[in-house]
Amino acid sequence: MGITYLEQKKIFKLDTPNTTYLMEIVDAEGFLGHIYYGRRLEDAEGAEELLRTLEGPFTPETNSRDRSSFMDCFPWEYSSHGVGDFRESSVRVKDENGCSAVMLTYLSHEIYEGKRPLEGLPATFGKQDQVQTLEITCEDKCLGLRAVLSYSVFEDTDAIARSVRFENAGRQVLSLEKAMSCCLDMDNRNFDAITLHGSWARERRIERKPIGHGRFSVSTLRGETSHQEHCFLALAAPGANQDQGEVYGFHLVYSGNFLIQAEVNQFDSVRVVAGINPEDFCWRLGGGESFQTPEVILTYSAQGIGGMTNSLHKLYRNHLIRSPYLHKKRPILINNWEATYFDFDEKKLLDIAKESAALGIEMLVMDDGWFGNRYDDNRALGDWKVNEKKLKGGLGRLVEQVNALGMKFGIWFEPEMISEESALYRQHPDWALAVPGRKPTLSRNQYVLDISRREVRDCIMEQVFAVLHSANIEYVKWDMNRPLTDLGSAALPADRQGELYHRYVLGMYEMQERLVKEFPDLLLENCSGGGGRFDPGMLYYSPQIWCSDDTDAVERLAIQESTAMLYPLSAMGAHVSVCPNHTVGRNTPFETRGYVALAGTFGYELDITKLDEEDRAMVPRQTAMYHRFHDLVREGEYYRLSSWQENGSFDCFQVNGPDGKECLVFYTQVLNEPAKKSRIVRLKGLDAGARYRIRVVSMEGGDLIKDTGREASGEVLMYGGFRLERLWGDFRSRIFCLERI
């Protein structure tokens, strides 16, 4: 790891363990150009020729008559607007004259050990010996605008964290209409775009397609990172797969409207920009004021998609998740939502708790319906007071009884929303987002609170804190069940309404920061109608996020595979639920449901008092399986072996323990096929010179882990393969445990 400035050549060199990033200051005006991002270069001599400034149209100091041609083909480190570069701009600023041209050039730089936090925003972090940061200050002298381009590199992973801070050093008021977090220009290599698309209950499905001339983007205007498109884009060279080929990843650490776009121009160069979606965004920047963009994570892998995955997993584990639960075993919880929905009282909850405690489940989570007049989803959001008609004796009494069973207690909130039928709305109708004179748009029969306002945040958090202080509550599920519409704030003047989307996100971040500081030992799990706000920004506050409201084991194979391409397994909320599944009506074996849920945080989403004897008898073995293997799953290195999304038949992945002594192979046969031989998959990351004993996890009687009588060398398992026998029937699973002898 290291950042160096080669003063004689005016080149910045950023090195991670396996990659190098190069920039150069060219021309007397101080244009900052991007030279190279790829495999690590120990010697970068001659790399400056990659800028092509020695060929036409040359730099403006050599050929001022073709300045526009230069602007439109130079590989900018941060692109301008309105001055000749007709590709996607990184910034757009309107001055007091109504003009929007902006051109940022080099002013100064600073290199320092460590990394400064981003005010009001989640961001990666590290100790001084773990991370090094470069800040390049550029300016537009005409506007009095400065932009501080920040780059941080980490000693343990191939990632670069980038962001931009804008400062108005002049006297006029500027309107910042676009403020992207990064720009990257490079030659196109017939790249494919890899993105994650979806919808409610089928989040984050992998899609891969070639990009051509023009613009290809993923974005949202829903006010959340959304079920539909994810704040991620990768460019993959032709033929790049899990193990080989070049892949560039871009992942935004943000939880609101975003845009990530790749554009191929007439010279076959590709430009990627990433940041806050500029649509409906306008930030008023007075003299002396500043604006900080969210962070974007760049990663380059020469070892295919798997290399990108490994880098992101390391970065998020070591430099983003702050929770004390990061390296701790999470309690096995049971959530009452699919068991009871709104129809419960303290007796029903205690019946579930008693049965759960006897079977090894460690926490009861009370979901929606415990507060105000909340008997369905049409009322009471915003009235965060316990409904003692449902919970006689109050929350404290219920929690004491649950604790007496040896179980922890958790609770559900939806703090960002308000129901029209609520005491809060009757008192403060102006606290809901609304456009004056226009009837607001309902979704799930609820409105969105204007949490850009301090008084709104204070009111909600005071209610939440009062509930959490009233009893021994050790877990919170924070939900958000609708997108943002009717963007109008009664507290913002007309010339600041364009700030509302971003101020909303900042308000939500502040609320979550207050929560984790007030209750530092709390286990927080974020949720948004399932996986609608599963993004790196939320991981900064909660170590796990509810992956999807679809708990069907087969559907979860695809959802969890796509999520695990970017996020550690320990970040994925995953539960065992009943069949027929409440979302798709599919029947899958209880055993399979447990194996699939083990690839996440593991818990239950069902009425355990209604399980048949066969499934009930399996619960203690599943909880034992979790305790035996969760440390390995949480801390281990993830490898994708085969994808059901691609082959339509089976799913397989591997997790290697940190010490290399054990690994797990997760195998799910979705559909059986006649007259076919066994499947062969090549394992990864083993010790080629070692031998491995092959055992299998069993939900039947006797030992939890049973020997198969099979042994093989690491080199056979990796280079020859590992044989997976076909299982009888559909939707069958196995977990193999390989132990180094």
Q: At what angle do helices 500-518 and 454-469 cross, to 10 degrees?
A: 30
Q: 3-state SS of the chain: helix, strand, coil percent to 5?
A: 25, 35, 45
Report angle CA 288, 293, 299 to the nearest 5 degrees. 145
Q: Residue 268 gets which letter from DSSP?
A: S
CA distance 51 to 705: 58
Q: Are 120 and 197 in contact (CB under 8 A)?
A: no
Q: Is the peptide bond before 415 cis (omega within 30 degrees of 0)?
A: no
Q: What is the 3-state secondary structure (H, E, C) of 100-160?
A: CCECCEEEEEEEEECCCCCCCCCCCCCCCCCEEEEEEEEEECCCCEEEEEEEEEECCEEEE
What single letter denotes the amino acid at residue 112? Y
With beta carbons less than 8 A apart as the criterion, state whether 499 and 491 touch. Answer: no
CA distance 212 to 226: 26
Peptide bond into 57 cis (omega under 30): yes
Annotate 7-34 with three-state secondary structure.
CCCCEEEEECCCEEEEEEEECCCCEEEE
Beta bridge partners of 366: 411
Radius of gyration of the chain from its Cα atoms, rounded to whole angstroms:
27
Which pair of tokens denotes residue 427?
């008192």
Residues 6+ apart with CB under 8 A from 441: 485, 486
Residue 181: name the closest of 265, 124, 101, 238 by CA. 124
Cβ-proximal residues to 493 (8 Å cutoff; 6+ apart), any chain: none
Q: Given 140, 367, 368, 479, which residue is catalytic?
A: 479
And the tokens for 200? 């409610």
| Other residues' Cβ atoms within 10 Å of the Cβ of residue 709 | 8
Contact 605, 581 (CB under 8 A): no
- DSSP H helices, 169-228, are none
Question: Taking the mean position of all CA atoms in its chain, how far away is CA 623?
Answer: 27
Distance CA 641, CA 655 (A): 10
Residue 112 CA, distance from chain mean position:
28
Task: Decide if 658 contacts 664 (C-beta within 8 A).
Answer: no
Residues 464, 384 contacting (CB under 8 angstroms): yes
Task: Give CA–CA dist 31/75, Å, rounded.
Answer: 10
479 a catalytic residue: yes
- The span from the CA of 552 to the CA of 494, in Å, is 47
DSSP letters, 270-326, are EEEEEEE--TT--EEE-TT-EEEPPEEEEEEESBHHHHHHHHHHHHHHHHT---TTT
Catalytic position from the list 549, 550, 552, 651: 549
Round to whole Å and give the CA distance between 304 and 245.
5
| Of 737, 741, 736, 735, the residue nearest 713 (C-alpha) | 741
For 63, the token pair is 């050929």
Enzyme catalytic residues: 479, 549
